[in-house]
Every structure is written in C-alpha cells, then in structure tokens.
Amino acid sequence: MEDQLILGIETSCDETAASVVRNGRQVLSNIISSQIPLHRKFGGVVPEMASRKHTENITGVVDLALKEAGVTLEDLDAIAVTRGPGLVGALLVGLQYAKGLAFALGKPLIGVNHIEGHISANYIQYPELEPPFVSLVVSGGHTFIVEVRNYRDYVVVAKTRDDAVGEAFDKVARALSLPYPGGPQIDQLARKGNEDAIAFSRPKFHEETLDFSFSGIKSAVLNYLNSAAQRGETIVPADVAASFQKAVVFNLIDHAMQVAVNRGYHRIAVAGGVASNSYLRHNLVEEGKKQGIEILFPAAVLCTDNAAMIASAGYYQLQAGDISPLSINAEPNLGLRL
C-alpha cells in the first residue's frame, strides 16, 4: 500500500495545532500554539477568547506544519480534524477551516473523536503497538478506562461520574493559589510534601462499579482547607498537594489494574494530559511490574492536546472508509463510541 499523508487539525480547547503524519505512525511535523499565558490570568480557559485566538492562529499553524513536513496541500491524502468533544466555538474554528481545505482540494474530510485521538497518541510513540490493550484516558475533560479491541472498536469499562481527573487537579490547585494549569503545579509541589499527612477518602458507590468520582476528593480538600483556616491551624500546601495526589492517582491505578487483570490484558496504554504526571507514571509502572503488566506512556508533547494524535486516529478512520460529509458539525459533548 502506498504511503498516506494526513494533515491533522486540533482546536478543541486552548491549543491551536496542526500536524502531518505518515501512515498513522510517523510524525513529519507537530506544531502547537498554546494559549496558556493568555488564560492564566483568568485561572482557566475563557471560551470566547480561545475561539478568537484560534481564528487568528490557525492559518499560520497549518502553513508551518506543512513547511516543516516538507509537503504541499496537494501532497495530502486527507484532512483530519477534531469534531468533539470540546468547546463548541473552538471546535468550529478548526472544523470550518478543515472543511474549506477539504472542499478546495477535493480531499476526504475525516471528523475525529478527540478521545480516540488521545488513545492513538500511543501508536505514534510505540510504532509496534497493535490492539488489543487497555487504555487509561486521563485529561482535563475526560477520565475513562477503555478496552481497545481494535483500531475502531472501543468498549468503555469505567468513566468519571462527575469531575474529570484533570479538572479536579485544577480546582485543588486554585484552592492552593497555584497558577493555571494546575496539574503540573500540583505535581511539582507534591514532591516537597508528605503524601501520608492527610487521609483523603476515596468515593464509595452502593453498587459494584469501577467508575470514578473525583468531586468528593476535591470537596474533601476544600473542606480541609476551610476547617484548618477557621481553627487557625497551619496549612502545609505541599502536604495537601501530595495527599490529594496520592488519593487520586491510586484510585486510577487500582481501577485500571483491576480491568487489565480481570479481563486478561497484559498492556495498559495511558493517554491524555494527566499522563504527564510524574507520580502517576512512577507508581503505575511499579504496580505494573508487580502484576506483570506493561505500562505505556506517550511523550509529554503527545499527552497534551496536539494534532499528531488526530492525524493518527484519522489515518485508521480513513482505512476503514469512514469519511465525513462536509455537512458535519461540531459535537461538544461527543462521547466515546460504545
């Protein structure tokens, strides 16, 4: 089969990204324009500002991705773009741009699920990786444990019932007066703290389930901070960060390991922005060694929102003949296909 070049475009939140990927695995360029400095002063992403910035940046980012890859628009075999989930205004910027390119060039348009993109980042990091495997998807907007049975065949085994894990990190970081984004700040601060200083309990459901709930842990941290302040007790932010991080991370590890062991999988591929967390990486690998389960993490640049992962997912979608019509719309609440 001839090589296929896919241009990926990603604008689901606050990164404007474009990438050219060959055959779903080889990254020829991966350009990311981050808006973090813009949103940091507000403590989080402001959707209207994000959309406006995407509009300003997208042409330059796509042009740079093509230039770095050494290809022209005519060399491309398809245009892959995130259609959801994400911020509706931000998604529309990338989607409309991709539609224009696909129409003008006469190339296939591929609307990609952002969550599938995160899982596909592992195909880039590990060119030899093939399904089936378990994927732990952990980011600012998503928390899933997924059986990846084939490239387009997913079964969601567990999910969060409230806050995504990255969202909980950001909210606790804000309570500790740490700058946005909070996840890396918690990770760094926790290294200086005592992870056993405070026992934050994990949620208990009445029924048997591997679903997550991070709202309760987040609320427990906020209640601890408020109570300590009212009593005039000294608060050690590093201890709070370390104790919170331990409760959250081991909740993720316990559930992911149960899925892998109970369903006979020997590989867990982690995906999403929280996959960069050093505490999660270390402890999941250690637990994997005990259980005989291989743990895979993408490089940090492939954990955050990026277009290479969208191009990779788009490649496998193209192989399956799943082409999107030009009438496709953004789906801000798009779930992972069951």
Rounded distance between C-alpha atoms, residue 309 and residue 25, angstroms: 9
**Helical spans, DSSP H, in the chain:** 36-40, 47-69, 88-105, 114-125, 165-175, 182-190, 215-231, 237-262, 278-291, 300-303, 308-319
Residue 16: predicted pLDDT: 95
Same domain for 141 and 274, yes or no, is yes
Residue 206: predicted pLDDT: 59
- With residue 86 as reference, give the H or E element that holds it: none
Query: What's 273's DSSP letter?
Result: G
Same domain for 206 and 308, yes or no, is no
Say if residues 152 and 258 touch (Cβ distance below 8 Å). Answer: no
Same domain for 199 and 246, yes or no, is yes
Residue 48: predicted pLDDT: 82
CB atoms under 10 Å from CB of 77, counted, come to 17
- Residue 13 CB-density burial (10 A; 0-12 exposed, 13-18 middle, 19+ buried): buried
Domain that holds residue 17: 5-121+303-319
**CATH code at position 198:** 3.30.420.40
Residue 338: predicted pLDDT: 46
Residue spans of the chain under pLDDT 50: 338
* Domain count across the chain: 2
Same domain for 308 and 258, yes or no, is no
Question: Which residues are CB-neighbours of 219 under 8 A, at least 6 positions away?
Answer: none
Same domain for 285 and 141, yes or no, is yes
Instruction: Give the long-range contacts of residues 54-59, CB within 8 A, separation 24 or more.
Output: 54/11, 54/16, 54/90, 54/93, 54/94, 55/93, 57/16, 57/33, 58/9, 58/11, 58/16, 58/18, 58/93, 58/94, 58/97, 59/97
Same domain for 251 and 136, yes or no, is yes
Residue 270: predicted pLDDT: 97
Question: Which residues are CB-neighbours of 121 under 8 A, at least 6 positions away?
Answer: 271, 298, 302, 303, 306, 308, 309, 312
3-state secondary structure of 186: helix
pLDDT tens digits along 216-270: 898 999 999 999 999 999 899 999 999 999 999 999 999 999 999 999 999 999 9
Q: 27 lies in a domain?
A: yes
Q: 211 lies in a domain?
A: yes
Same domain for 87 and 26, yes or no, is yes
Same domain for 286 and 168, yes or no, is yes
| Strands, sheet with 5-10, edge to edge from the N-terminal-most edge strand | 26-34, 15-22, 5-10, 78-84, 109-113
pLDDT tens digits along 290-318: 999 999 999 999 999 999 999 999 999 99
